[in-house]
Amino acid sequence: MIDQAFSAGAAIELLLKATLATVDIHLIRESGSNHIAALSLSGKHTKPAVPPLPDIRTLAPPGAVTILELLANQKFSGSSDLKTVLAVRDSAVHMGFVDARANERAVGGLVKLVGWVLAVRRGLGQDGDWDTFWSKHAQQAREILDARNEEIFTEFQRKISAAKARYAKLAGTESGRDAIPYLEEGEEPLAVNEISRETVCPACGCRGRTRFEVVLRPLVVDSEFPPGQPANYGQVIGRPDQFHCSVCKLALVGDDLTAAGIVEEVALSAEEMSRDGFFDWLLMNSIDEQP
């Protein structure tokens, strides 16, 4: 079981980094790591003094996922799965101990993560065939993925049912019904890199709010730049990050958003981009400024 936990963590980390390195070796290099080693591995440096095991510090898996999101132009919904896989791996490596139930969840998370990365690889023109990757374990991996998706859907339905019950209790009294319009107006303060849009609650039908994470998407101009090379960074979009209904208290994140159909990216309005502090955030987080 310890071997399985270690292998799961190593597999997703290596797949993430292999995908990025195939695009450009420098994408996996952590800021401040050995430039010469990275150049040598990419065949762009001619000096012979390269150690057998190049000294190159690489991104942690969450950082690799962030870059893949930009390359694929799609939000990654399995952050909790990634955390589980890495936590179980770290427990095996550093403590020599693995919880059986946590390990089972990690295997399910791994299969889901691999599915996402393979889809990204296909979009980037890389080999992303499911059967080739899993080889003789392909059918077993599909069964694990189906079970994981069923688990996600069941949990989503449980949350919807609980939210409907809370709404029914609230709407069952006159004072509760009177409070609903006021509850619909409630919202927590936004961070500078967040926007919020009104969304019909999938549980009670009231006015909920979807929060979007603001990200910068490179624009590509094929006539002037090679495919995949950013021409400028003028496209600012919002990706669904979480949903909350103040009436029935339904809260959705990650896979729950996909189950609810809250997946569409949005373009920011002029008003949203003119909020206090947003322009400064935009300058600080432009792709040109990133290491």
pTM of structure: 0.70
pLDDT in tens, 141-155: 899 889 888 988 999
pLDDT in tens, 240-278: 989 999 999 999 998 899 889 998 888 888 888 888 888
Which residue matches tokens 């499911």? Answer: 130
Q: Which helix (H) or strand (E) holds 19?
A: helix 2-23
Nearest to 57 by CA among 32, 82, 94: 32
pLDDT in tens, 113-143: 899 899 999 988 899 999 888 888 889 889 9
264 within 8 A of 241, measured Cβ to Cβ: no
Mean pLDDT of 85-92: 82
pLDDT at 290 over 50: no
Q: Cα 237 vs. chain centroid, distance in angstroms?
A: 15
As a dihedral over the C-alpha atoms of residue 273, residue 279, residue 282, residue 288, rounded to 10 degrees, the angle is 130
Measure the CA–CA gap between 30 and 128, rounded to whole angstroms. Answer: 25
Q: State both tokens at 156.
A: 């989503």
Measure the CA–CA gap between 256 and 105, rounded to whole angstroms. Answer: 17
215 within 8 A of 237, measured Cβ to Cβ: yes
Which residue matches tokens 């999101």? Answer: 69
pLDDT in tens, 189-247: 888 889 999 999 999 999 999 999 888 765 444 444 444 443 344 577 888 989 999 99
Q: How confident is the model at residue 108 (pLDDT cuts 50, 70, 90)?
A: confident
pLDDT in tens, 34-88: 566 666 666 665 555 555 555 667 788 888 888 888 777 777 777 788 888 888 8
238 in helix, strand or coil? strand
Query: Can you give the length of the chain in residues?
Result: 291
178 Cβ contact list (under 8 Å, min separation 6): none
At residue 198, what are phi and psi to the nearest 5 degrees?
-65, 135
At residue 119, what are phi and psi to the nearest 5 degrees?
-65, -40
Q: What is the pLDDT of residue 5?
A: 74
Which residues in 100-125 are b (16+ Cβ under 10 Å) and which e? eeebebbbbbbbbbbbbbbebbeebe
Q: Indicate the DSSP class of residue 201.
A: -
Q: What is the pLDDT of residue 199?
A: 95
Q: State both tokens at 160.
A: 């919807």
Q: What is the pLDDT of residue 287?
A: 44
Q: Which helix (H) or strand (E) holds 210?
A: strand 207-219
76 within 8 A of 62, measured Cβ to Cβ: no
Measure the CA–CA gap between 188 and 252, rounded to whole angstroms. Answer: 15
